[in-house]
Chains A and B, each alone.
Chain A
């Protein structure tokens, strides 16, 4: 009985070369030092991709990539299809984890000098994988064919439209026609489920192949210098001296990390759920505030903050330049110190990139540069900003709402944040300065000169001058001598009483 079983196994192994394959792959020898917690990030990214493949394939059982039906199928998936919401949650959180862990992996590889000789191709294939993953994330948010997806695609088209000479053709190529419609969705669907995942699979094979042929980076020791002439022998010596088979000696931490990742994705999907579409992609429904998913918020912020004259150039050239720098890195910095302990510039670069991306993402989320479209009818005002005001000043407050000033200006933090908060404006600008600013605009404020009647300006400034902390006098023209506060409170109020007799 055991003999037959053994023979069958040997036969299978002979035909399929399983044991040789195993020895060449999972059983290949790695430096003992690479069995580190820092080295689990690559396999964790791969695991996320596997989850995405499985959940994505299953979602395609139900999802219909058609502009007229995708929204309904998403609703069906989320509310009616058994466990549909959970699969959507797994796919959504799987993508978040994949992007996050991928960047951690890239950071670790950079800090550990793993891109240096002889692993240039490993690094470059990893960079292409990063671009493909971001492509999957972008096309994935278009699959949630909602308002954000529609206008997000529009933003993509508007950027493509800035390309010189070929802009118009590129827009058509991206949209699959002259305008965003079902062809656009089908096109992004094809990218999302065929072209990009296929390319990722191909690149992963190359990436892993390189890990096998050139070996995994040994845990770098400070002071140990990489030289092209000697490195290969040194690495062979390390493998010979302290090499262990990846399976089962070095895989344990990867396994633990893998289970942590799976549990985390399960947890997030169950507790936070999938991201729900924010309304069907109906372009005539313009009461919308388009925002990208969080990994693109920093680009959204960059688009708002760049000076106008640099914008087209940086939006178009920025991407290629970053990619070029990433591709050139292993050739420019091919040898030398690997350990981050001896590479302060690398450490500072990483910190800088993370801080900048973090701040931009925060700003993109808060987007203080956007007017708050509904503030003019919904922003409330603190009691202390209303009580004690004369009818004219109260009318000024109504004007502040009516003329949509609150869309860009908050009072006590309530309202838009495009312009300065008006809570203490009365202490900073005099009546005539306020009038000038309102009439002529300037400093990114539109001019209201031909939109306001003189009485309206009078009421507005009367209210604005009254916006100041208790007991503080209004701003005064420096050319006018200061007067005791008692008289001042009367002279500062603009209109002379008429009706009192």
Chain B
């Protein structure tokens, strides 16, 4: 019973609206335009910060920062050793991923080469083999000579190298980004 009454109530409403005058229709059109316009502005106002937040890492610049690899004595002359540095852009909750490995080749005296761990093919970690003086990649079989030049396999370029310098018998490099073909200057 109750239902029926409610149904009739609601069915009356459109009738009431239909008998309003032209002026009201014009006002409603105007209101609609205002409503749409205001919402367009509001959408932009809310959308710009949202898109800006979501794409922040897309536009942000991450300049390289200097980090220490420790005393030069850690790298005996004539050897290539694994070293690691704390990523300058790391967060407190980064755990193990904050520590970034690299290969340090001490050629002689104050002459070094510091290679990124990432294969230039698809970024897998290359491993140094001192006996054959080769870096080998476990993913697709890339190999590099001791100076980082291409020896075999699919890598399109030599190993990525860091800019390094020695200060007070300490080895420094400029690091902080994942080297890729688009941004090979680590």
Contact = CB atoms under 8 A, between A and B. Distances in A.
A155 B131 CA distance: 28
A451 B97 contact: no
How many chain A residues sit at the interface, stated as a range, is: 35 or more
A418 B91 CA distance: 40
A371 B141 contact: yes
Contacts of A370: 137-141
Interface stretch (B18-26, B39-47, B69-77, B81-89): B81-89
Interface in B83-118: 84, 87, 89-91, 93-101, 117-118
Best-surrounded residue of B58, B99, B180, B183 (most CB of chain A within 10 A): B180
A150 B97 contact: yes
A161 B180 contact: yes
A303 interface: yes
B143 interface: yes
Interface stretch (A164-172, A224-232, A235-243): A164-172
Contacts of A107: none
Contacts of B123: 151, 154-155, 157-158
Contacts of B125: 151, 283, 286, 288, 290
A155 B122 contact: yes
Contacts of A311: 154, 156
A286 B118 contact: no
Q: Is the interface of A mostly helix, strand, loop or mixed?
A: loop
A137 to B, nearest CB: 19
Contact of B154 (A155, A179, A308, A447): A308
B38 interface: no
Contacts of A405: 132
Contact of A283 (B97, B139, B153): B97
A282 interface: yes
A180 B7 CA distance: 61
B75 to A, nearest CB: 16
A281 B101 CA distance: 13
Interface of A: 11, 14, 66-69, 71, 150-151, 154-155, 157-163, 167-173, 175-183, 280-290, 300, 303-304, 306, 308, 311-312, 367, 369-371, 373, 376, 402-405, 407-408, 418, 441, 444-448, 451
9 contacts: A151-B123, A171-B180, A175-B178, A181-B94, A369-B141, A402-B131, A408-B141, A445-B152, A446-B143
Interface of B: 3, 55, 57-60, 62, 82, 84, 87, 89-91, 93-101, 117-118, 121-127, 129, 131-134, 136-141, 143, 145, 151-154, 156, 176-178, 180-183
Q: Which 3 A-B pairs give the minimum distances between C-beta atoms?
A: A161-B180, A167-B182, A68-B95
